[in-house]
Amino acid sequence: MTDWHNQYNKDYCDSLSVEKLKCWESEKYVKPECGTKIYDYLDQPGLFFTFKTSASCC
């Protein structure tokens, strides 16, 4: 799970995880009251500092 999903889960009392996502359209997997606001989390300063890369992407 990413910090992005952790923050969403905390704000919306949900249990979203990367494993539950089947496509790039994350708004399909969040609560209706969140919708496309899920992408607002990506604007948070420092969010990408904690992302880890995968060996398969290098």
pLDDT of residue 37: 96
What pLDDT sits at residue 48? Answer: 66
Check: CB of residue 34 under 8 Å from CB of residue 9. no
DSSP string for 4-52 = HHHHHHHHHT----GGG--SS-GGGTS-TTTGGGGGGGGGSTTGGGG--
CA 33 to each of CA 7, 9, 44, 52: distance values in angstroms, whole numbers, following the listed order? 15, 13, 20, 29
Q: Is the pTM of this model over 0.95?
A: no
CA distance 38 to 49: 19
pLDDT value, residue 27: 94
Q: What is the pLDDT of residues 12-51, one digit of tens each?
A: 999 999 899 999 999 999 999 999 999 998 888 877 666 6
